[in-house]
A and B are shown apart, each in its own frame.
Chain A
Amino acid sequence: MSEGNGVDMAIKIQVPTPLREHTQGKTTVETSGTTVQAALNDLCEKFPTLSAKIFDKGEVKPFLNIYLNDEDIRYLDSLATAVKDGDELSIIPAVAGG
């Protein structure tokens, strides 16, 4: 499974409802990578149509927040935040309805 440096990191990504049409309905996807960016890239490689939904010119779209376990990555190291085996990333879109 692992590529490159041989360190295999299993990072679970929680996919929110509106993006699941791009993940064949999967609510959780196992990815690998040593940073948040790498894990998200791996997710987008597995499901290529996701990339345009999550990123805009390389940045996460402003209405999507990425949480590493329960911490907002913006006050960690943003996309460069290191991740380790067993970590969970959640993509949480801002919800407009009401």
Chain B
Amino acid sequence: MTPDPSLERYSRQMRFPGVGTEGQLRLRNSRVTLCGCGALGTVLANALVRAGVGFLRIIDRDFIETHNLQRQVLFDEADVTANLPKAEAATRKLRLINSEVTIEPVVADIDRTNIIDLVKDADLILDGTDNFEVRYLINDAAVKLGKPWVYGGCIGSHGQTMTILPGDTPCLRCVIPAGPAPGEGATCETAGVLGPTVNIVASYQATEAIKILTGHKEAINRDLLYLDVWENVFKKFSIAKLRERGNCVCCQQGKFEWLEGQHGSQTTSLCGRNAVQVSHRVAGKLDFDGIARQLGTLGQVSFNRFMLKFQVEEYEFTVFPDGRAIIKGTNDADKARTLYAKYIGH
């Protein structure tokens, strides 16, 4: 076959037998939605645009800050100075890397009202988020629409990833029925994160994406992959049979509780107070003792049994035992949700 000159830039990738010319053409005809463009997201976007996907939608609600640059590989100091949204800055950089790819930046908070529109025309959804609320929304939407997606998560020096093919592999809720309650799991803000950890996890996710988009679903990872780069741990946990248990609320019973709003957070702007209330449904009471320990090094924390106060940057958190928080210092619901995910976690 005569080589297609328009594919010359991908020659080394096409020489890899798993891709070839056919795989490259499939990549060029593929559409991907990337949810979140922080640490995982920038590595994912970089890999997919260089690999030559046809269309990439990048959704992120956040702006770039100096402390992102340690691990968010598409951003630089000029982006911080220009005060650019992550989705926009990433798009500008990626267009310089590969002008053949159509990139659509979306500066928005992913929620149950917009997720279907954001993923319905995609062949694959990639997880570059930092919280389980959005991941369960992705999972609901992906299972409902029958679209593959790839989960990735990182903290400190450890991370994990799994690939979800609805109808074939277990979904996120089969493996993780519910995420950590607010304050129960560490976040990158509270526990820190090493740049290389994120690069490795996102690179696994990107490889899974390339397998799926080039038509090699037989090659995907069917385990929960777990690694710790500091402790030299690399493990694969077998999860395939979890789907056969047959009782998953989402992929077996077809209940999309996150899409339908039975789980998740609600925000209310508190008029005239420069504050937003973020409500999270939690089963029990928050562990103030544990949260205070996690936040103690980041800002001023005090608590009694009725509320926990936490001051960081220019914001003041008042957190209640039922998971509700009033975040003072902003009127912006998206910003408040971001702050909640960063410091309290969910």
Q: Which residues of A contact B (CB under 8 A)?
A: 16-18, 21, 27, 52, 56, 61-63, 65, 67, 70-72, 74-75, 90, 92-98
Contacts and interface: CB of A to CB of B under 8 A. Distances in A.
B284 A92 contact: no
A72 B193 contact: no
B236 interface: yes
B178 interface: yes
Contacts of B156: 17
Nearest to A92: B226
Which bracket fits the contact residues of B?
Answer: 35 or more
Nearest to A52: B287
A36 to B, nearest CB: 15
Contacts of B346: 96
A98 B129 contact: yes
Interface in B283-299: 283-284, 287, 293
Contacts of B223: 70
A75 B224 contact: no
Give the one of A72, A90, A92 with max B CB within 10 A: A72
A94 B242 CA distance: 16
Contact of A94 (B179, B287, B341): B179
B187 A97 contact: yes
A92 B241 contact: no
B155 to A, nearest CB: 4
A98 B238 contact: no
A78 B23 CA distance: 42
B245 interface: yes
